[in-house]
Structure 1
Amino acid sequence: MTVVIGFEGSANKIGIGIIRDGEVLSNPRRTYITPPGQGFLPSETARHHRAVVLTVLQEALQQAGLTPADIDCVAYTKGPGMGAPLLTLALVARTVAQLWGRPLVGVNHCIGHVEMGRLITQAHNPTVLYVSGGNTQVIAYSERRYRIFGETIDIAVGNCLDRFARVIKISNDPSPGYNIEQMAKRGSRYVELPYTVKGMDVSFSGILSFIEEAANKMLASAECSAEDLCFSLQETLFSMLVEITERAMAHCGSQEVLIVGGVGCNLRLQEMMGVMCKERGAKLFATDERFCIDNGAMIAQAGWEMFRSGQVTELHDSWITQRYRTDEVEVTWRD
């Protein structure tokens, strides 16, 4: 039996999870929440992570009923993500690995999401839509790499939603995307927005500029409600994501879709993707907020796979990299 502890802190969530041979033993998490209308800055986020990291580590061990002696390997998020928060967790993981005398594994954050999704849903070889605050990619496995078939050419879909939430001053608790989703359920009028799909890629910055301007005019003149704008934004963004996912499925001859990442919890996105899958006779796999939002167990799971296939990170190599591409990692644990 192999037990791996995973440290995640690439954005405003800090999570530490423990995995034993595909079983999630613990997965505590804390979120740094800012006031409405504000984003989270790297330095302040890192300060939050430093303040709670030892408490979360203690919780992870207690919930799993384990001691440091039971841990076989320490995994941490190497990137991509925000520099200061990544560095904070990397330092803690490196220290813990040395104190406990355990090997260290640096994990690609995106691959953590994919491996967690595969573990929880038991999807065999899916086309993956990875959607979060920092990333938007359509991924499929081929020849020992997770290949990127399409992605955003500017901002991520979660970033687009978060920034719109700031414009209309929606609360960041528990997350701006979740609050937009709830408001969208009460929206009924569709406001036409730019729809920007470029081949296999998508662009969200133009839509954000357009809806920011529209919000100021339309809400002032009561032409439509904030709920209508949330509804319209979701429908447009998610239609674009479903389109490029379907195109990648057709290219790969795939009959499975797995949605991962924080935006993957959105039930409307899952519903729209489900309709497309049904029309193609394909299967949709998705997880709930325990596993699609950034968490420590996903880093532990990817670390478990890497460690078991012989990958370890030497101490002199245990830095972080903010721009760490999904397709840079050699996938040594899959056929």
Structure 2
Amino acid sequence: MIGKFILLLSLLLISTTGHVCYKHEGADWETGACASGSRQSPINIITANVREAEDVELFISGTDITTGSILYHDHELKVTYSGATAKYTSEDEDSEWALAQFHYHAPAEHRIDGKTHDLEMHSVFVSKTNPGQLLVVGVIYELEQGYEDDEFIASLALENLVSNPTTGHIENVPMENFYNKFSNTKMYNYKGSLTTPPCTESVEWFVVKEIQKINPSQLGRFTSKWAGLSTFAEGKGSNRVAMDLNRRKVFVTGGEEFMGSFSFSILFIVFLVISVMQIGLAGVFTLKLKSPKNATSQKFAKIPEKDKIEGTERLNADYNYPGVSKPPHKYFQRSISKEI
């Protein structure tokens, strides 16, 4: 019962009620922190200024929706769903989060190097220990002609949402594959807010770095409700204007690309350590060979004396060089040890 109450309270905290006007893309919102906050979202992510966060990972897992509903009302296109979790790990924290809902904005809200893309999905997670704290994962899409239908978007049956408001029926939504695709991939990470009133500044943002593709037919199911509808905010769409970063830092986390470079760095360090050890061992070995103790213990062949025979020089046959009928050179030398 307490768990259900916490989940209900969380849903109330992250839900917006009433009409949200996008005529000025939210630049005129004066509710709560929307006008006075210093950690507002969305932002324009300047990739050249992004820092790498080597210790942060976000793992997401979910179960498929066998049967459910999707709500289309005013500015909202939302699925209330609790079958996914996120695990956040860093040097200082290990926390778990429960999915409360996911929704869409068209055009996308987060800008990448000043570019506005066509669509953005937000998955809103609530802290299991502190319901007032939220974690939102953004997935950005851009239009590509001829791209095949996305199975996940197709399962939302958006073609059935023809009136406002409408509650549509969905089934067999492949949430497991969808969230597995983005689990611990490269993501931009920063501290921000809700992008709709009251713009509460209690959100840990993760925006998937890789831009997803969407074809014109599927994108039209979203834009027809906002950006392609002249009666909705004069066709400006349902995205808020980018807010000032205000000295916040944006990081990039996790992912195979990072792990690959990290693994290479570790291997390189190991290689250097082994090389230094080998050079050190070679030096010790060489010093041993040069030490007086070792020098006296070594056996050298006798240097032959010269004899005059019929006006020519020859080596005395009484030399000591076992196994060789004649010495290879007038003077025998110890072979130089090869360094390892």
Tell me the TM-score normalized by structure 1: 0.21
- Which has a greater percent of helix? 1
- Which has a greater percent of strand? 2
Tell me the TM-score normalized by structure 2: 0.21
Question: Whose relative contact order is higher, 1 or 2, with alpha carbons under 8 Å and at least 6 apart?
Answer: 1
